[in-house]
């Protein structure tokens, strides 16, 4: 099990409730006489059986202790010593956060036993339900295990047995999770930070010799992560794929197909009629070297003359041309295949990538994340996977990866989460007799996720386009159900509902292709403020699931419609006349309490200007950097400023992502602000120069508008 990060939501936390029965309360002299533990699993995978062991302490059990837990010297005579059960206990706790009542006592006793017997021990992350209860009910007079259980309606079975108390502690923790969420404590790091803030209790435990477990900060997590090859994060599949597809007709003999593979040095061949590339994925089958050898082994030399049509495997497994290489590695590993057909934005085959191309790349962190999302069977599984993203971003930032690439990786995983939510929602609907989709459809991610520029504080911006059907007709109602279920799954998985309601469950954000075209034309023709906001979100859309061509055609239609109306583009540009000024007295950066909102002062103006001008000149690109590059390539206006703004955008992205990844891992409030005190002198100077250039955007947009 991979290490748990502070970004994991409490409801999906891989945890284990632990309790010890001992010979006394003094941690320096106490010996363990019983260990009880139970794994708590919000994930779909089942927990292991409870851990329940008696321990021979190697010395007499005081009568006053035996009177409480009922464990006598006779009961432990034949029990193992603590060192004998230690490996099993460590394995049971491995990869999990330990929860319990006054858990600092139990962990300190374990630490003392490890020191005493020369055993391996590393303190796990932990949460004390007694301290959490003080957060949920500040006025609770007696937060004992009995009182907490009674308050939450939990009956303790076998009180003062280690397993009985551990089970009760686990149930109390699980019932407190939603209560903590109501108080803004949703993740492990937030809970750790809140617990450590209970200064009086922490001081009492320290006085008793109990060692608290501080939450690891982001730097400690980063230091333990190690370094890895960033090639797979810097390059898209399209950069390394074989662009000329090797295709043979179905009537081609196996001997001839193998000859063509040998001539090209290829390990597979596609089969289609007619034998040509650039067609939809479903037109092809695939025959690999291994398939050919297996057929020859089974049928002998006669197989060489048989046509390959009936030997080819279908359906093919594909990956998008713009996906990063680490996703190709993940898909091959998860599905146990050695070849992927590469498709473009609308699903046509444009290339091939094989395991041979990827053998030397090491990209484990994001591969594990990608695998976990795709294999998720519940919102809880998705939440655990999504929580790993902050650590990946922190590591990639530390490795010096271009921030635009890192933001694209965040977007890739956001899209993957949305895709998986759609798959799980469809599975739910099938199981409840809603049937299959009434017509082809595509799920789209909008806003920064569609641009490929997501930060670590996303919400849901999604939409659905379907082939046919009227508003509130049977097709629309079916897709409303799908959108509602998708939204609920994503919200539970840690991607909150959009405050502005930009979700496919709401009528304005779903519709047939015809409905969407009319909607876009209405936005452009009547440029009211709410329509301009819709344009900001929708004109960045990207398909993530289903019949992607529907979304692709809609994207092209939106840009063509917007470009044909200069008044509309001018109104879009007018929003930039009100750029917030981040400079104060003597030209110093005027952050509030040492903080500066870089999304407000930098990202929003650059993104908005690039989108506005791309619409005006019908340049249907997704990313801000591509839009600015295509505008500069036109050779009009201040091209040097356009290129500089692209660099400024990347720099500001890097500052926000660095701050957000640290905040997520350590339980700080997550927002789009940076701390000016964390910047080096050179970073401060560079930021000041970037923000000065951003103040020139209104003039730049006016110059390039016509």
Rounded to 5°, the CA angle 530-531-534 comes to 90
Q: Which residues pair with 324 in a beta bridge?
A: 236
DSSP string of 405-460, one letter each residue: HHHHHHHHHHHHHHHHHHHHHHHHHHHTT--S-SS-EEEEE-HHHHHT---SS---
pLDDT, one tens digit per residue, over 435-464 is 999 999 999 999 999 999 999 888 899 999
Element (H, E) at 88: helix 82-93
CATH code that applies to domain 10-215: 3.30.420.10
Dist. CA 123–CA 488, nearest whole Å:
36
Q: What parts of the chain have a pLDDT lower than 50? A: 1, 43-45, 215-227, 360, 362
Q: Which two tokens stand for residue 606?
A: 């650059």
Instruction: Identify the pLDDT of residue 229.
Output: 60
- Looking at domain 232-358, its CATH architecture is Roll (3.10)
Instruction: Identify the pLDDT of residue 685.
Output: 93
Instruction: Identify the pLDDT of residue 403.
Output: 87
pLDDT, one tens digit per residue, over 371-427 is 788 888 999 889 888 888 887 887 777 777 888 888 998 999 999 999 999 999 999
Dist. CA 597–CA 565, nearest whole Å:
33
pLDDT, one tens digit per residue, over 472-496 is 999 999 999 999 999 999 999 989 9
- Give the position of tokens 């409480």: 68
The strand pair at 126-128 and 97-100 is best described as parallel
Superfamily the domain 376-564 falls into: Beta Polymerase, domain 2 (3.30.460.10)
pLDDT, one tens digit per residue, over 51-106 is 999 999 999 999 999 999 999 999 999 999 999 999 999 999 998 999 999 999 99
- Three state DSSP letters for 109-175: HHHHHHHHHCCCCCCCCEEEHHHHHHHHCCCCCCCCHHHHHHHCCCCCCCCCCHHHHHHHHHHHHHH
- State the pTM of this model: 0.77
């Amino acid at each position: 099990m991979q290490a748990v990060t502070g970004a994991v939501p409490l409801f999906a936390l891989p945890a284990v409730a632990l309790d010890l029965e001992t010979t006394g309360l003094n941690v320096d002299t106490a010996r363990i006489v019983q260990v009880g533990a139970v794994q708590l699993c919000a994930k779909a995978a089942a927990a292991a059986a409870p851990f329940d062991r008696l321990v021979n302490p190697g010395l007499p059990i005081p009568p006053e202790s035996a009177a409480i837990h009922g464990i006598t010297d006779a009961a432990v005579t034949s029990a193992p010593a603590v060192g004998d059960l230690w490996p099993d206990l460590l394995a049971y706790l491995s990869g999990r956060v330990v929860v319990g009542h006054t858990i600092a006592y139990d962990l300190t006793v374990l630490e003392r036993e490890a020191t005493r017997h020369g055993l391996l021990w590393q303190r796990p992350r932990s949460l004390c339900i007694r301290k959490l209860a003080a957060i949920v009910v500040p006025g609770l007079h007696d937060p004992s295990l009995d009182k907490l259980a009674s308050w939450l309606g939990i009956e303790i079975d076998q009180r003062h047995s280690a397993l009985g108390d551990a089970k009760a502690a686990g149930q109390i923790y699980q019932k407190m999770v939603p209560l903590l969420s109501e108080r803004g404590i949703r993740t492990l790091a937030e809970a750790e930070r809140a617990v450590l803030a209970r200064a009086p209790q922490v001081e009492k435990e320290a006085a008793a010799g109990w060692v608290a477990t501080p939450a690891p900060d982001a730097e400690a997590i980063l230091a333990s992560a190690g370094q890895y090859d960033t090639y797979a994060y810097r390059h898209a599949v399209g950069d390394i794929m074989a662009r000329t597809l090797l295709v043979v007709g179905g009537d081609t003999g196996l001997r001839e197909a193998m000859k063509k593979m040998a001539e090209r040095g290829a390990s597979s061949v596609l089969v289609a009629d007619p034998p040509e590339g650039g067609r939809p994925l479903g037109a092809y089958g695939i025959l690999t070297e291994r398939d050919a050898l297996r057929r020859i082994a089974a049928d002998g030399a006669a197989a060489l003359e048989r046509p390959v049509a009936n030997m080819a495997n279908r359906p093919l497994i594909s990956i998008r041309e713009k996906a990063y290489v680490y996703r190709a590695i993940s898909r091959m590993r998860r599905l146990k295949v050695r070849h992927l057909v590469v498709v473009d934005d609308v699903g046509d085959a444009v290339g091939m990538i094989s395991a041979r191309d990827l053998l030397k790349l090491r990209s484990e962190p994001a591969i594990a994340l990608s695998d976990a999302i795709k294999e998720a069977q519940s919102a809880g599984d998705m939440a655990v996977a999504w929580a790993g993203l902050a650590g990946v971003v922190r590591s990639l930032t530390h490795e010096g990866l271009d921030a635009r690439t890192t933001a694209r990786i965040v977007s890739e995983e956001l899209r993957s989460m949305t895709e998986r939510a759609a798959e799980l929602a469809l599975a739910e609907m099938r199981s409840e007799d809603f049937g299959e989709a009434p017509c082809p459809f595509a799920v789209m991610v909008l806003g920064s996720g569609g641009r490929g520029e997501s930060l670590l504080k996303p919400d849901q911006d999604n939409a659905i386009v379907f082939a046919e059907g009227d508003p509130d007709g049977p097709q629309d109602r079916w897709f409303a159900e799908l959108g509602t279920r998708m939204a609920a799954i994503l919200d539970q998985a840690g991607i909150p509902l959009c405050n502005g309601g930009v979700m496919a469950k709401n009528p304005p954000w779903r519709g047939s292709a015809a409905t969407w075209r009319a909607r876009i034309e209405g936005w452009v023709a009547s440029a009211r403020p709410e329509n301009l906001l819709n344009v900001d979100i929708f004109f960045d859309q990207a398909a993530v699931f289903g019949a992607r061509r529907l979304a692709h055609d809609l994207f092209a239609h939106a840009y063509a419609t917007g470009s044909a109306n200069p008044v509309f583009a001018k109104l879009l540009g007018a929003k930039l006349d009100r750029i917030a000024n981040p400079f104060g007295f003597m030209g110093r950066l005027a952050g509030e309490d040492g903080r500066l909102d870089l999304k407000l002062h930098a990202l929003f103006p650059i993104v908005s200007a690039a989108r506005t001008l791309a619409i005006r000149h019908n340049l249907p690109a997704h990313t801000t950097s591509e839009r600015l590059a295509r505008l500069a390539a036109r050779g009009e206006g201040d091209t040097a400023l356009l290129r500089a703004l692209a660099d400024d955008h990347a720099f500001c992205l890097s500052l926000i992502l660095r701050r957000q990844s640290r905040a997520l891992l350590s339980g700080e409030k997550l927002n789009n602000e940076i701390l000016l005190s964390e910047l080096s002198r050179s970073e401060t100077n560079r930021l000041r120069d970037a923000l000065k250039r951003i103040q020139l955007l209104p003039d730049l947009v006016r110059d390039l508008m016509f």
